[in-house]
Amino acid sequence: MRAIVQSGYGSVDDLTLGEVPVPEPAPDEVLVRVRAASVHPDVWHVVAGRPAVLRLMGSGIRTPREQVPGTDVAGVVEAVGSAVTRFEPGDEVFGETVRGVQWRNGGAFAEYATAPEEGVALKPSSVSFEEAAAVPTAGLIALSNLPRRRVPAGSRVLVNGAAGGVGAMAVQLAKVYGAHVTGVDHTSKLALVGSLGADRVIDYTSEDFTRSGERWDLVFDVPGNHSFREIRRALDPRGSYVLIAHDAFGATGHRWLGSIPRVLGLVARSAVSPQLRGGSFAAPDKRALMGTLAGYLEAGQLRVVVDRTFPLDQAARAMRHLMSGQPVGRVVLRIDD
């Protein structure tokens, strides 16, 4: 089959189109004929091998263990493993190809990919393959960090980085829960944030929300460009802070451990700061989370705006477009027949 191949860690420009064998599904996996695959920042991390710690976390020390990048697919089930019970050939599905929470190549940038049954859901017919492919990783991280129990109806929620893959999901989830949502992002992306349902938008190029004098019940922070001391100015004393952390394609310079030390620092501090409690380190129940995301998509409560699609052989161009910071919406590879 045709697939994008990454032979070493480095630049997205080294990604090439090659021929590799069609993967065999394990007993608990489905084989998907891929129609679309999402281009998102975690793909860049594994292509670049940065932060270096991901190489010790199963991605492969010197070279990537799995040569085909990508983690999110939408397509048609071609075959199922012997233990699969929920899907059959011909089903239109979307899902994440890596197991649990793993930082590694998942083989999505290819004509066929395998995915564990637990990370896959039926694709609602109202949603295109391109839209569905953009959901899994971003949706899973947003939903697992922003469960309904954290957002009582009427809460004031601020999403920093609201136009990005994760932020756009968080804005819409908070609206589903009945929150009043403020979205912060770049000037060029504020119309998108408003169209996703944010009640208010803040342009980070001209306004610092931590100095506005306002307070929110929950701050969902994707870029993590403020210290917790600054964030506390904008947080209700009984409020809570959720940090996702964005490395901005290496621009923050944490080559070895990325945002891990900062996240661990916040975990330690949660012993004395109630605003940092409420998260969970339990392994996500992906089957339940994917089911919830599929339900919201079907009901029209979750929408995906696709900025641009690229054919499979232009994966490097698609990655460069993502890294330019220009996309207003998601970047997706489409795999034509």
Instruction: Name the site residues for ligand NAP (rule: CB under 6 A).
Output: 40-42, 45, 137-138, 141, 160-161, 163-167, 184-186, 189, 204, 222-223, 225, 244, 246-247, 325
Biggest CA–CA distance in the chain, Å, is: 58
Nearer CB in complex with ligand NAP: 91/185: 185
Coil/strand/helix, residue 218: strand
Where does the chain have alpha helices with state H?
41-48, 53-54, 129-133, 136-145, 165-176, 190-195, 228-233, 260-269, 286-298, 315-323
Least distance to ligand NAP, CB of residue 47, Å: 12
Residue nearest to ligand NAP (CB): 164
Least distance to ligand NAP, CB of residue 272, Å: 27
Least distance to ligand NAP, CB of residue 79, Å: 27
Please state, in angstroms and rounded to a whole number, the distance separating the CA atoms of residues 326 and 315.
16
Nearer CB in complex with ligand NAP: 67/145: 145
Nearer CB in complex with ligand NAP: 272/283: 283
Nearer CB in complex with ligand NAP: 102/273: 102
Query: Alpha carbon of 33 to those of 36, 89, 111: distances in Å?
Result: 9, 10, 6
Least distance to ligand NAP, CB of residue 64, Å: 17
| Residue 278: Cβ-neighbour burial (10 angstroms; 0-12, 13-18, 19+) | middle
Please state, in angstroms and rounded to a whole number, the distance separating the CA atoms of residues 241 and 336.
42
Nearer CB in complex with ligand NAP: 80/333: 333
Q: Which neighbouring-strand residues pair with 116?
A: 29
Least distance to ligand NAP, CB of residue 243, Å: 10
Please state, in angstroms and rounded to a whole number, the distance separating the CA atoms of residues 258 and 170.
22
Nearer CB in complex with ligand NAP: 55/189: 189
Least distance to ligand NAP, CB of residue 259, Å: 8
Count of C-beta atoms within a 10 Å radius of residue 34: 30
